[in-house]
């Protein structure tokens, strides 16, 4: 009996499922570009080295190998326990969960009037349509922390996966401790890229700000200036001591005492 030899088609990787689509519109506003950038710059969990973490903003997140053209595009997400580079050698074009075998630890959506219903899980899935963001994050990927930030009233909303479903956490302050990465995520009032407002930002276990690159430069510059100032003070003190010693020697010589 003749049997056909069916070869299983390999699942697509990130090279087959890129994130760039020239027909899609750009980001809705500058905040949606700057806020994720700040999150990425300050995401430094102490229990994972830089080579063991990956963050992305506005990147396609593919979640279903049976529907490989379905994806979500979070404003920002982080993955830990995964190589920083794709297969340790290439920057990512997208994040393909079945290819990477590691799901994000946290997803952050920046609330917009046009996406509010879906961001907050209030959008109902239509027949024969892909699942909503909420369904993907909660039921399919089971992402432990789903966070929504409303830039219009600076409201921080945190959902944590409890058993099978997301539960909104009751925040006593605009800050949440995320145990698996040993970091706080909180709201910070300050200036970033010339804009002063409230921003989402990462803090260490003692609630100290994780410094931005420009802040690290300023700190280093201040340390150098302080070191130079201290050296100058020490030099001045040494010169003053030398002058006092010379003056004392002259006084002793005047009394006929040989100090040489």
* 169 and 104 assigned to the same domain: yes
Q: Do 42 and 184 contact (CB within 8 A), yes or no?
A: no
Please give the angle made by the CA atoms of 124, 130 and 131, to the nearest 5 degrees: 50
* 94 and 82 assigned to the same domain: yes
Which range has highest mean pLDDT (103-112, 227-236, 246-255)? Answer: 103-112
> Is 167 a member of any domain?
yes
Whole-number average pLDDT of the chain = 87
* 102 and 141 assigned to the same domain: yes
* 83 and 187 assigned to the same domain: yes
* 200 and 225 assigned to the same domain: no
Give the pLDDT mean for 118-129: 74
Domain edge (last residue) among 210, 229, 246? 210
* 174 and 240 assigned to the same domain: no
Residue 114, both tokens: 């046009």
Distances (CA, A) of 250 to 67, 236, 245: 94, 21, 9
Phi and psi, residue 38, nearest 5°: -65, -40
pLDDT in the model for residue 247: 85
* 196 and 245 assigned to the same domain: no
Strand 145-150 versus strand 155-162 pairing type = antiparallel
* 141 and 224 assigned to the same domain: no
Q: Which domain holds residue 68?
A: 31-210
Which of 135-149, 151-165, 243-257 has the least mean pLDDT? 243-257
pLDDT in the model for residue 233: 74
* 135 and 217 assigned to the same domain: no
Give the pLDDT mean for 173-202: 96
> Is 2 a member of any domain?
no
Which of 17-26, 151-160, 218-227 has the least mean pLDDT? 17-26
Q: Is residue 4 pLDDT above 60, yes or no?
A: no
> Is 39 a member of any domain?
yes
pLDDT in the model for residue 253: 81
> Is 232 a member of any domain?
yes
> Is 74 a member of any domain?
yes
* 132 and 188 assigned to the same domain: yes
> Is 99 a member of any domain?
yes
Q: Is residue 118 pLDDT above 70, yes or no?
A: yes
> Is 26 a member of any domain?
no
* 192 and 215 assigned to the same domain: no
pLDDT band at 197 (very low <50, low <70, confident <90, very high): very high
pLDDT band at 20 (very low <50, low <70, confident <90, very high): low
pLDDT in the model for residue 21: 56
Q: Is residue 1 pLDDT above 70, yes or no?
A: no
Q: Do 103 and 97 contact (CB within 8 A), yes or no?
A: yes
| Number of domains composing the chain | 2
> Is 86 a member of any domain?
yes
pLDDT band at 10 (very low <50, low <70, confident <90, very high): confident
CATH number of the domain at 36, please.
3.90.1570
pLDDT in the model for residue 28: 64
pLDDT of 37-91, one tens digit each? 999 999 999 999 999 999 999 999 999 999 999 999 999 999 999 999 999 999 9
* 57 and 183 assigned to the same domain: yes
């Amino acid at each position: 009996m003749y049997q056909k030899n069916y070869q299983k088609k390999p699942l697509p990787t990130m090279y087959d499922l890129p994130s760039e689509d020239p027909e899609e519109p750009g980001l809705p506003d500058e905040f949606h570009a700057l806020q994720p950038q700040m999150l990425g710059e300050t995401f430094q969990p102490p229990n994972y080295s830089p080579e063991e973490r990956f963050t992305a903003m506005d990147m396609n997140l593919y979640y279903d190998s049976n529907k490989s053209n379905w994806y979500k595009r979070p404003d920002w997400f982080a993955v830990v326990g995964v190589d920083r580079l794709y297969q340790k050698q290439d920057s990512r074009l997208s994040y393909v969960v079945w290819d990477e075998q590691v799901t994000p630890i946290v997803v952050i959506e920046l609330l917009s009037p046009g996406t509010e219903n879906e961001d907050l899980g209030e959008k109902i899935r239509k027949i024969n349509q892909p699942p909503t963001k909420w369904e993907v994050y909660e039921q399919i990927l089971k992402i432990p922390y789903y966070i929504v930030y409303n830039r219009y009233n600076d409201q921080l909303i945190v959902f944590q996966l409890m058993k099978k479903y997301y539960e909104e956490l009751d925040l006593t302050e605009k800050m949440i401790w995320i145990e698996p990465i040993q970091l706080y995520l909180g709201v910070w009032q300050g200036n970033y890229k010339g804009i002063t407002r409230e921003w989402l930002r990462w803090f260490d276990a003692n609630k100290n700000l994780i410094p931005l690159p420009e802040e690290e430069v300023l700190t280093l510059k201040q340390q150098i200036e302080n070191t130079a100032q201290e050296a100058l003070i020490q030099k001045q003190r040494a010169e003053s001591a030398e002058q006092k010693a010379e003056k004392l020697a002259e006084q002793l010589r005047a009394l006929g005492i040989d100090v040489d």
